[in-house]
Amino acid sequence: MCSFIPLHASVYENIVEVIKSDGPLGMDYSNYGSFYGIMDQFSIALHKKHLIPDLIPMTGMKEKLSEGIEFLDVGCGSGFHACELGL
């Protein structure tokens, strides 16, 4: 989680400018040099252990996933979660 502090600090000035000019519309992820790498490390560390054994049973999707349903992964980082579910 601490990896996010220098990541956000590195684009602080960009965020200030975006808020001044566009309001709270957000800033393109391309402004963050290493966003996806850090996000991926964070997600893997946080979710790898619990995604399949704990989280999926809570969704009621375990049987459907086992049967081989199709799903769409949009806006979900590197695709780590989809790859885990596909194993």
Ligand X SMILES: C[S@@+](CC[C@H](N)C(=O)[O-])C[C@H]1O[C@@H](n2cnc3c(N)ncnc32)[C@H](O)[C@@H]1O
If the CB atoms of residues 67 and 87 are measured against ligand X, the closer one turns out to be 87
If the CB atoms of residues 3 and 43 are measured against ligand X, the closer one turns out to be 43
Taking CB atoms, the residue at the shortest distance from ligand X is 75
Assess contact for 61 and 51: CB atoms under 8 A: no
Q: How many CA atoms lie within 13 A of 70 on its CB side?
A: 1
Four-CA torsion 40, 38, 1, 58, nearest 10 degrees: -10
Q: How far is the CB of 34 from ligand X (least distance, A)?
A: 13
Task: Mention every residue, 6+ apart, whose C-beta is less than 8 A from residue 13.
Answer: none
Q: How far is the CB of 77 from ligand X (least distance, A)?
A: 3
Q: Which residues bind ligand X (CB under 6 A)?
A: 29, 39, 43, 74-77
If the CB atoms of residues 7 and 65 are measured against ligand X, the closer one turns out to be 7
